[in-house]
Amino acid sequence: MKNNHIFTLFLLSTTLLSSKVLIADTIQGAVPQAQKKKRPLAQLDIEEKTDSCAMELYTDCAIVELKTQVPISPNKTIQIIQSFPHHMRDESFHMVFSKNLLGALHMLDFSIHQNKDKKDILINTDNNFDSVQKVDADITYTTEGLSWKPFYTADLSPDCKSLNLNCWFTVYNETSTSFDNVHLTLFDKDSGFRQIEDVTPAFEKRTQNLFPIERPVTLPSMQQKRIMWLQESNIPLKKEYVLSLGGVFLTDMTNSDTVPKVDTQLSWKNTFKNLPLAPVTLYQESETHHKSPLMQATLKKTELNMPVSFRMPAHLQNGDEHPIQVSYEQTEFQKFTAKLTETVNRLTLKNTKTEPVTVKVCVNFPIKSGMIVRDSIPHQTDGHKKRYWIFNIKPGEKIDLKYRARVTSN
């Protein structure tokens, strides 16, 4: 009998202790094992996922890749997915469901319906789900109604020795759909969705033509968004002098005394990113940090580690417009045929300054088939077949250049 009392007290103590543990777990937010609802692991994983959107925006269309979840009902095999832009190319729509989650799933067919200013996708599926399931889906389509333009703003220092450069992208969303948290990549070429024989080789140079945005952006419907893409300060500038021998200097000038003009340029090396072709608005900052407008120009497309330059406004040259004394003479002009011309030239450059100067002499042929036949000082050629010489001229030094140019036409 005594032993029975002891056993009863032991059970009571155990029960009270278990109750305290249960209360403590409840206070801390834990749910007793007996009260936990069992849910398939796959369904838990689905609920934790969020949509992901990536977009490649070309000059002719945008390619949208959307990772999302599609609710599939066991009773209704027709599912409606809304908010596709009415600019979408219907034939481009592509959807792939994830592999089997809780049952077999196949997309048998689908149709596209216009719904006011948007489009709905009606999907016919075959499944054996017991309840509504959210199924992972990868959706890809192309659409018009999206475009982009780059532009630059630049601040020139008071002494013209440094530059602050900013590059912005304006993205225009003229579709009926808002794109949230988009991983955006911009291309300054067509998409290549055309006849294969019409695709230009330039499209293959993908890295030179793309400009990725490093952070997700949101593109509201029927709005434009300006995105800061580049911001560089205190870029050191180098003053250069450029003389162009194209145009009239490739025609008959044996009886002319016209002298090519030397332009002053400010240049730097692009150590940041591939820079797109875009207009640039140039300001100059005064000692009191007041910005005055200087000019608008075009910044050429520049690859990484390539030089960038723009013409220095004449009123900033402080009387230094002609630091190089130029003497030019066309000693021979021969027109062999209607399509073949050669010209022999002599150019003399003298540094009239008390410090060294750099002079770039360019022969800008009207077509790429022009060439320098021979020259007294070897010329250079860039990737665009532009012929040029670069001279570092000491104070008082004189450079004497003789060259023969050949111009052909189609």
CA neighbor of 66 nearest in space, from 44, 88, 48, 47: 88
Pair of tokens at residue 145? 């109604």
Residue 367 CA to residue 140 CA, distance in Å, equals: 42
CA neighbor of 125 nearest in space, from 68, 66, 72: 72
Confidence of residue 194 (pLDDT cuts 50, 70, 90): low
The Cα diameter of the chain in Å comes to 138
CA neighbor of 126 nearest in space, from 103, 150, 95: 103
pLDDT tens digit string along 8-52?
433 334 443 343 333 333 333 334 444 444 334 333 333 445 689
Residue 367 CA to residue 378 CA, distance in Å, equals: 21
Distance of CA 100 to the CA centre of its chain: 38
Q: How far does the chain reach from its first CA to its final CA, in angstroms? A: 122
CA neighbor of 93 nearest in space, from 134, 124, 138: 138
- For residue 202, the 8-state DSSP code is G
pLDDT at 27: 32
Pair of tokens at residue 226? 């300006």
Q: Which of 75-89, 114-128, 282-296, 383-397 has the lowest mean pLDDT?
A: 75-89
pLDDT tens digit string along 336-377?
998 899 999 999 999 988 888 889 999 988 766 789 999 999
Residue 21 CA to residue 135 CA, distance in Å, equals: 39
Q: Is 269 exposed, middle or buried (0-12, 13-18, 19+ CB in 10 A)?
A: middle
pLDDT at 13: 42
The SS3 of residue 8 is helix
Average pLDDT, the chain: 81
Tell the residue number behind the tokens 């925006």, with chain if given.
57
Positions of E strands within 270-336:
278-285, 291-299, 307-311, 324-335
Residue 131 φ then ψ, to 5°:
-150, 175
Between residues 328 and 28, which one has the greater pLDDT?
328
- What whole-number percentage of the chain has pLDDT above 90? 46
- Alpha carbon of 56 to those of 60, 65, 172, 181: distances in Å? 11, 9, 14, 14
Between residues 123 and 328, which one has the greater pLDDT?
328
Between residues 110 and 286, which one has the greater pLDDT?
110
Q: Is the pLDDT of residue 320 over 80?
A: no
pLDDT at 41: 31
Residue 173 CA to residue 225 CA, distance in Å, equals: 8
pTM: 0.73
- For residue 352, the 8-state DSSP code is -
Q: Give the CA radius of gyration of the chain.
A: 35
Q: Is 329 exposed, middle or buried (0-12, 13-18, 19+ CB in 10 A)?
A: middle
